Amino acid sequence: MKKRVKVVAAVIENSEKELLCALRSNDMSLPNVWEFPGGKVENGEDFGTALEREIKEELHCSIRAGELLHTHVHEYEKAIVELNCLSAVIEKGEPHASEHAKLLWLPKENLTSLQWAPADIPAVDFLTTKVSR
Ligand SMILES: Nc1nc2c([nH]c(=O)n2[C@H]2C[C@H](O)[C@@H](COP(=O)(O)OP(=O)(O)OP(=O)(O)O)O2)c(=O)[nH]1
């Protein structure tokens, strides 16, 4: 049976209303696709706590996690990922890539110009269609 992993990802908006996108590096699973930064939820953690911890570990800054924006379950070849995207704002510091190959701030309407991890596509669609309403 495939392993099912619960993942939280941050949709971080800056003062210019741009969203932070992160490129997975060659050293990560799923290399060279874009994602919302985050990671696996540990036992006993709520989504907000998990996300704030992951962002501190990965991007070396502090965020405040907000509401759950979108959930999607995607079946990869080796695992099933439940991707939970939460809104977030930076509280302290600037994001720096440590594990990722690149970070990029993009206006919502330009998100579809990137090649996203398959599990992220419904969230990207949700975020980009929300803007045109
Ligand atoms: N953080 C994050 N992970 C995502 C997204 N979309 C997506 O498919 N994933 C996948 C990639 C990973 O398999 C898993 C997240 O776990 P992780 O970020 O802790 O990744 P990891 O490198 O430790 O995972 P792994 O190599 O052990 O598989 O979910 C996303 O938008 N953000």
Tell me the pLDDT of the chain (133 aa) as tens digits. Answer: 899 999 999 999 999 999 999 999 999 999 999 999 999 999 999 999 999 999 999 999 999 999 999 999 999 999 999 999 999 999 999 999 999 999 999 999 999 999 999 999 999 999 999 754 4
Tell me the CA–centroid distance for residue 107 and ligand 1, in Å.
23
Produce one character per residue of 27-64: b if its CB has 16 or more CB atoms within 10 Å, e if not.
Answer: eeeeeeebbbbbbebeeebebbebbbbbbeebbeeebe
> Domain segments of the chain: what residues?
3-131
Question: Domain 3-131 has what CATH class?
Answer: alpha beta
ipTM confidence score: 0.91
Predicted structure pTM score:
0.95
* Phi, psi torsion values for 5, nearest 5 degrees: -115, 140
Return the beta strands (E) in the chain as ranges: 3-12, 18-23, 34-35, 38-40, 62-75, 79-92, 102-107
Q: Quick one: DSSP state of residue 125?
A: H
Tell me the CA–centroid distance for residue 80 and ligand 1, in Å.
11
